[in-house]
Amino acid sequence: TTPAWQADPDTAARLSGGRADTDETVGAPPLPRSTPTAISIPRIGVEAEVMTLGTNPDGTVQVPPLEQAQRAGWYSPGVSPGEAGNAVIVGHVDSAKLGPAVFFSLGSLTKGDTITVSRADGTRATFTVDEVRSYPKDTFPSELVYGPGDVPALRVVTCGGVFDKAAGGYTDNVIVFARMTS
């Protein structure tokens, strides 16, 4: 289905790895596929293991178990961090039982912050944040997150907005859009 939210051409180009302006830093060349093992986001104090995830029987993306809310998860049906395209890493913002989780402060990242993903082959892929946005869950920009891309990019996703007790979850998603720079 087509997401309800559509980016303007400059935003779409920037988030999909295209160049929206001439001042944008050129990204690094793609790496071969390799399973991510850890994620580091110094600005918000994240040093976390990354588990491999897939999809639930209903087709939704799996998330780490709440008992492991300090771990992030890589959406393995997509590209791995460092490959050409949009790699996706997800994690919890918090847990009623355990408190703040791995991506509790994700929404405070700003353009220029760095994210480093360690990979099973011993390499590291470093990404630079282009943008951080919050979207209502009912207008989640699936194409910008999971869609194809020409350059190595990373999407880091967690919950945000208000916790809806009746629904048992948050109303929004916080998404970090980043491109590989080394």
In the chain, what are the domains?
28-180 (2.40.260.10)
The model carries a pTM of 0.87
Residues 136 and 133: their CA atoms lie apart, in Å, by 10
> What mean pLDDT comes out for the span 165-181?
97
Whole-number pLDDT of residue 27: 83
Whole-number pLDDT of residue 64: 98
Whole-number pLDDT of residue 79: 98
Confidence of residue 17 (pLDDT cuts 50, 70, 90): very low
Whole-number pLDDT of residue 25: 54
Whole-number pLDDT of residue 139: 97
pLDDT digits (tens, 9 = 90+) for 62-92: 999 999 999 999 999 999 999 999 999 999 9
Q: Is the pLDDT of residue 106 over 70?
A: yes
Dump the DSSP string for 57-84.
TTSPBP---GGGTTSEEEETTSPPBTBS
Nearest Cα residue to 71 out of 120, 43, 96, 36: 36
